[in-house]
A and B are shown apart, each in its own frame.
Chain A
Amino acid sequence: MMKTTTPARSLSAEQLESLGRLLDQVRQDVLGDLGQKDADYIRGIIRKQQMAEILGRVLIHFSLTPVSWLIGVGLLSTAKILENMEIGHNIMHGQYDWMNDPKLFSQTYEWDTICDGDSWRKTHNFEHHTYTNILGMDRDYGYGLLRLTNTTPWRPKHLFQFINYFFLSLLFDWGVGLHELEVEKIRSGKTRLRDKWPFLKRFFRKARNQVLKDYVLFPLLAGPMALKVLLGNLMANLIRNLWASTIIFCGHFTEGAQTFRKQDYENESRGMWYYRQLLGSSNFTGSRWLHIMSGHLSFQIEHHLFPDIPAHRYREIAPRVRQICVAHGVPYNTGGFWRQWSTVVARIWRYSLPDSLFSEPRGLPRAG
């Protein structure tokens, strides 16, 4: 069970049971209501994304002024963000499997980023979503690069982790693509590089295709303007990276988001699983387009409770989820985008320093 310092203990078995039941009901209500409007929604977004991509690439190719080139870069970045976050990520979670449309099928969809779809499905859909925020099991927690709690012993190298954070964000697609390599385990000798060969083969194939597309094929098509296209594509990929990593960091590393231990997972009931997802995730508020551009990860709490419900539905169920949380005394971690992100930055900053500088007890961070 969880440590007494976390509020997890404060829920009785009955409360956990009722939490599970009520959240299951929310889930069933949405599933029962899925239909044409959800199909129209995702196809509409795909159409917009495709238009933005075509327009963006055309502008980057044929622009005569820096302004139209910049607009092209903006459109291509938008298209890539939409494809990765609202379309690819959500389809691969199985959110649209019920439509029986092979183009929207979770297990065969391939997205426009370095990370190979199969690798993503394994490390994200399975590992991260099943073992959310369990230290040592959820490798998304800090990505083996960042110290985000005082359960990781401090080392002098952590002083510079802000630089790591910056480069991880900038090259996020490569970081995500190589996530399955488990570099930290290879370094510590837990796994061998040669066992990772099947993964590496897939990684190289996908990365090669992506590099060829954005940095060879499209630039070459532009002939003498190749450099302009190469730069535009590079910019679009970097912007997408910064955006995606920022959104994702706001999901689990904000001030109040909690972590768990391996023991917490053993014999976990449905209610407890929901409870862990609730405590480990955080939302941020914003306009409709901010939600869409974040792939509705602005509703990270709802996403972690119901990863396979079409994400555009999170908005309508969020008030119900929040009410259930309030009724059970469970913290519901939300706030403005900038506020949430500033707590992420503060956390990275705080844990880059040795704990002796701070007076808080050693243990799991508490809910905000």
Chain B
Amino acid sequence: MTLCEIDPLFSRQRMAAEVIAVLDETAQVKTFVIRPPSRWKGFIEGQHIPVEVEVNGVRMRRFYSISSTQQRYLREGVITITVKHQEHGRVSGFLHERVRTGGILYIGEASGSFTLNHSNPPGDIVFIAAGSGITPIISIIESLGERQPGLAMTLIYYVRNSGQVIFRERLELLSERCHRLNIHLHFTAEEGRASRDQLLRDSPNITASAVYLCGPQLFMQRVIQELKASGSSSPDIRQEHFGGPFLAERTPLPAMDKVTAKVHLQQSGREIESQGGQSLLEIAESHGLQPKFGCRSGVCHECTCVKTGGQVINRLTGELVPEEQEFVQACISIPVGAVTIENW
């Protein structure tokens, strides 16, 4: 009765979706077929949804790309997400081990701008994916293939070895149906990393095409470098970051007064760089913001803010605060690397 008055900022729409089926794609990848409730607002291929699970009392959210099409959603009322079991990944581990057919997944509205741009040049459309980066791309290709089976498309797909190919059957089906879709599969364990010669071989016209790139950060950086080096002036590239965090989690922490950070304050739209182990509260104040605070020593929680990305160190203990903790005390939290604060 008294629990309903919640700041709209935090009332993230959490909707229960029924799990219709769980399919094995590879040894480490599963696809979850789910039925969102009718108030769910729908999506565009390439977008992702937040999925929320509770692990040992802590709610955790991760974003997963939708790996099915709008057409299927309209026909059957279901969507799919495809999840790789990350090593030490608590959410992906929970999804793989605990979620069964007939269960419930909590999801949110779809978002993301990694979608098809209809003002693309009329040339080829090239998709480049690595690993589970294929998930948003398969839904874009399938959707296009259904609407315009004659469209010229190229998919360049990197996986470590043949056991890791996700959506093998769906890809085979697609290449049968769409005669102008070229699929190039590369096994990096044998062929090594992506190179410009290889990209040009797979898609000679690549520099004049619209490129959709999705995979781990380092992979995408490399592909962009290679494309730029291949002489193209400025290729039209859209990208979506996938896979683990950019900063390796197990790198040793710098001394507290040497920590540097880049803090993104979402509500006020600011980007602040900091050095020398300042707390989130000090950083915000030194840039003219006036967040609420009380004791400034970690007692009262008056300064607590909502951290939706990145990591902080607790100044009192010198230890890293668990990454999934969203509500952090700004007066004793020292941001490390890229950190996002939602409500400042």
Interface residues of A in 20-40 (CB under 8 A from B): 24, 28, 34-40
Tell yes or no: B247 within 8 A of A by CB: no
Residues A34 and B57 in contact, CB atoms below 8 Å apart: yes
CB distance from A268 to the nearest CB of B (A): 9
Among B120-128, B184-192, B298-306, the stretch in contact with A:
B298-306
Residues of B within 8 A of A83 (CB): 2
Given A93, A105, A125, A130, which contacts B327 in the complex, CB threshold below 8 Å?
A: A105
Determine if A94 and B301 form an interchain contact, defined as CB atoms under 8 angstroms apart: yes
Residue of B6, B58, B60, B294 near A125 (CB, 8 A) is: B294
Task: List, in ascending order, chain A residues with CB within 8 A of B316's CB.
Answer: 24
Q: In the complex the two chains form, is B295's CB within 8 Å of A130's CB?
A: yes
Dominant secondary structure of chain A at its interface with chain B: helix
Docked-complex contact A125 and B5, CB < 8 angstroms: no
Report whether A108 and B6 are in contact in the complex, using a CB–CB cutoff of 8 Å.
yes
Partner of B12, one of A102, A109, A307: A102
Cα distance, A112 to B1, chains bound together (Å): 9
Whole-angstrom CA separation of A293 from B54 in the bound complex = 28
| Any A CB within 8 A of the CB of B297 | yes
A86 at the binding interface (Cβ < 8 Å): no
Q: List chain A residues, Cβ under 8 A from B12.
A: 102
Within 8 A of A (CB), among B277-330: 294-295, 297, 299-302, 304, 316-317, 324-327, 329
Q: Is the CB of A125 within 8 A of B2?
A: no
Which residue in A36, A50, A129 is a CB contact (below 8 Å) of B1?
A50
Chain B nearest Cβ from A121, distance in angstroms: 6
Give the size category of A's interface with B: 35 or more
With beta carbons under 8 angstroms apart, the residue of B1, B6, B7, B304 that contacts A94 is B304
| Partner of B302 from A88, A100, A121 at Cβ < 8 Å | A121
The answer to whether A100 and B56 have CB atoms under 8 Å apart is no
The 8 Å CB contact of A93, one of B3, B60, B301, B326, is B301
With most chain B CB atoms within 10 A of its CB, the pick from A100, A101, A105 is A100
Q: 0/1 per residue, B1-22, Cβ < 8 Å to A?
A: 1110111001110000000000
B residues near A (Cβ < 8 Å) are: 1-3, 5-7, 10-12, 54, 56-60, 294-295, 297, 299-302, 304, 316-317, 324-327, 329
List of 9 A-B pairs having minimum Cβ-Cβ separation, nearest first:
A126-B294, A39-B57, A94-B301, A102-B10, A100-B59, A126-B300, A97-B327, A130-B295, A125-B300
